[in-house]
Each structure stands twice: as C-alpha cells, then as structure tokens.
Amino acid sequence: MKNIHQPVKDLMRYYAEEIGDEKALSVLRKESIDSESEAKDILAFLDSMCEKIAIDSKSNTVVLRQPVHTTDAEKILSIIEDLIEELGYGHLLE
C-alpha cells in the first residue's frame, strides 16, 4: 500500500474513521496487507466505504475539501482489488 497515491489513502482513512472500522484503520496505519484475514477486512471495509460514498455523493458532501463522487469509490476499489490480487489473495475477489 506504500506505493498507492496519498489522496487515495487519505480518502480511505477518512472513511475508515467515519465508519469506525478499526481493522481497516490498522491496515491503513501500517500501509500493508499481511494476511488473508487483513485482505478480507479491507474488502469488507471497501463495501461499507462504497455505500457511504454513494450516500455522500447524492447529498453533495465535501470530503477533504472536494465533493465526493461514486467514481472515487470505483477508482479506490479497482486499486485495492489489484493490490489484493498481486498479494495472492485474488480468490477473495470472486
């Protein structure tokens, strides 16, 4: 996760805090997914994050000084799913 652009990590961290997902925050703090369990935790968080972004997008919510859009969620999902696949946990994406 260290190679992921900072704005992506910032948006993920914002929503992990907003949702109160301690497991996701732990992974984001150390900037690595080190086990299948952590990969599952991040995927579960991404589902919640995408739902929250969809709600925020409809209400024109500003997050980190920019209006949030569902395309933001799609980009993050794509980036993290690619990472999870690279780490050998691609079977979790099915």
Tell me which residue range forms the domain holding 66: 6-93
Distance of CA 73 to the CA centre of its chain: 8
Compute the distance between CA of residue 37 and CA of residue 52 in angstroms, rounded to an integer. 23
Within-domain flag for 30 = yes
Within-domain flag for 57: yes
Q: What is the mean pLDDT of residues 83-91?
A: 96
SS (H, E, C) 8-33: HHHHHHHHHHHHCCHHHHHHHHHCCC
Say if 26 falls within a structural domain.
yes
Q: Tell me the per-residue pLDDT of 21-78, one tens digit each, with 9 for 90 and over.
A: 999 999 999 999 999 999 999 999 999 999 999 999 999 999 999 999 999 999 999 9
Residue 1 lies in a domain: no
**pLDDT, position 1:** 83
CA-to-CA distance for 12 and 3, rounded, in angstroms?
A: 14
Q: Which residues are CB-contacts of 66 (< 8 A; sequence separation ≥ 6)?
A: none
Number of domains in the chain: 1
Can you give the pLDDT at residue 94? 81
Q: What is the pLDDT of residue 41?
A: 97
Confidence of residue 81 (pLDDT cuts 50, 70, 90): very high
